[in-house]
């Protein structure tokens, strides 16, 4: 691992911790990779003032979408959370402790993609918009607040169906803690920000509590909170 250089550009937001939690899981399971963390700013107020701004020219060269998280591994940039953790798995999760081999385990790999896409295209954008309308919008727009909050809750109902007779989102039997759990936990664990009470979905709450206990999840969630 020592010949590989990895940098994570991030922040401890739901998208940001998806990458840092998985990197900490890899470190706990395999002893690496080591990575450098660069804290970014996503605040409009910082444009032109803070060097690590996500819309700065140097950063747009790494991620044309100008968002965190982004990684650069041996000069190769990767953006979008799910693409980042799939890339990291392909490079570093050699024993498939948190992922599935597309060549030898294609059905479980497909399940992994299904649940990653479900959260990447569903929970992430919907809860992100709920956050915006409920916490940050300069005007009070009840339609926007309700639409995105209700859609987020509808997606949590889907998680509850999936988790009613299993421990993890993917894998045979009761499942295996894997990439889709990390990606989805990163959003669901922060749902109290918009007043969602997970007691509404006991199986989802139990799943969040199981993940939150993991030392690597604690470490990954804290990356960037004080640096
Ligand atoms: N689809 C992207 C979303 C990334 C994203 O929205 N990141 C937010 C922080 S959680 C950000 O960088 N926002 C800055 C901006 O919108 O300018 C992913 O999964 O990586």
At 198, which CATH number? 1.20.1050.10
Which residues does residue 8 pair with via DSSP β-bridges, in sequence order?
Answer: 37, 71
Residues 133 and 85 placed together within one structural domain of the fold: no
Residues 93 and 36 placed together within one structural domain of the fold: yes
Residues 124 and 170 placed together within one structural domain of the fold: yes
Residues with beta carbon inside 6 Å of ligand 1? Answer: 13-16, 42, 54, 66-69, 80-81, 120, 124
- The tally of domains found in the chain comes to 2
Residues 175 and 196 placed together within one structural domain of the fold: yes
Residues 6+ apart with CB under 8 A from 19: 8, 10, 69, 71, 81, 84, 85, 88
Residues 139 and 44 placed together within one structural domain of the fold: no
Q: Which atom of ligand 1 is nearest to the CA of 42?
A: 14
77 φ/ψ sector (left φ>0, alpha ψ -120 to 50, else beta): beta
pLDDT in tens, 60-75: 999 999 999 999 999 9
CA of 54 from ligand 1 middle (Å) equals 9
62 in any annotated domain: yes
Query: What would the mean pLDDT of 144-161 be, rounded to a whole number?
Result: 98
Residue 188: closest CA among 170, 175, 207: 207
- In angstroms, the CA 52 to CA 94 distance is 33
Query: What would the mean pLDDT of 133-155 be, rounded to a whole number?
Result: 97
The pLDDT confidence band at residue 4, using thresholds 50, 70 and 90, is confident
Instruction: State yes or no: pLDDT of 133 exceeds 50.
Output: yes
Residues 12 and 90 placed together within one structural domain of the fold: yes
225 in any annotated domain: no
Residue from 8, 12, 15, 116 whose mutation best tests the ligand 1 pocket (most atoms within 8 A of CB): 15
Instruction: State yes or no: pLDDT of 1 exceeds 60.
Output: no
> By residue range, what is the domain housing residue 154?
106-215
Residues 11 and 5 sit within 8 Å (Cβ to Cβ): no
Query: What would the mean pLDDT of 115-144 be, rounded to a whole number?
Result: 97
Instruction: State yes or no: pLDDT of 227 exceeds 80.
Output: no
Q: Give helix 81-92 / helix 14-30 axis angle, nearest 10°.
A: 10
Instruction: State yes or no: pLDDT of 2 exceeds 70.
Output: no
176 in any annotated domain: yes
- For the chain, report the end-to-end CA distance as a whole number of angstroms: 24
pLDDT in tens, 25-42: 999 999 999 999 999 998
- In angstroms, the CA 158 to CA 155 distance is 5
Residue scoring higher pLDDT (96 or 2):
96
Residues 142 and 199 placed together within one structural domain of the fold: yes
Q: Pick the residue whose CA is nearest to atom 6 on ligand 1.
A: 67
139 in any annotated domain: yes
CA of 77 from ligand 1 middle (Å) equals 16
Percent of residues, the chain, with pLDDT higher than 70: 98
CA of 173 from ligand 1 middle (Å) equals 34
Residues 6+ apart with CB under 8 A from 175: 166, 167, 168, 169
Instruction: State yes or no: pLDDT of 22 exceeds 50.
Output: yes
């Amino acid at each position: 691992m020592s010949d590989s250089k990895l940098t994570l550009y991030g922040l401890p937001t739901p998208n940001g911790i998806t990458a840092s939690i998985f990197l900490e899981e890899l470190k706990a399971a395999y002893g690496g990779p080591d990575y450098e963390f660069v804290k970014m700013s996503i605040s409009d107020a910082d444009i032109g003032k803070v060097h690590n701004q996500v819309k700065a020219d140097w950063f747009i060269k790494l991620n044309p979408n100008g968002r965190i998280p982004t990684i650069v591994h041996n000069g190769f940039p990767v953006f979008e959370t799910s693409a980042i953790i799939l890339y990291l798995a392909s490079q570093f999760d050699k024993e498939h402790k948190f992922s599935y081999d597309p060549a030898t385990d294609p059905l479980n790999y497909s399940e992994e993609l299904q649940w990653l896409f479900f959260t990447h295209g569903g929970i992430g954008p919907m809860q992100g918009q709920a956050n915006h309308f409920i916490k940050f919008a300069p005007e009070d727009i009840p339609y926007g607040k309700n639409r995105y909050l209700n859609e987020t809750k509808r997606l949590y109902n889907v998680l509850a169906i999936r988790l009613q007779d299993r421990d993890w989102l993917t894998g045979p039997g009761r499942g295996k803690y894997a990439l889709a759990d990390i990606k989805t936990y990163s959003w669901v664990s922060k749902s109290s920000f918009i007043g969602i009470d997970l007691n509404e979905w006991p199986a989802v709450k139990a799943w969040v509590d199981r993940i939150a206990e993991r030392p690597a999840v604690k470490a990954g969630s804290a990356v960037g909170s004080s640096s």
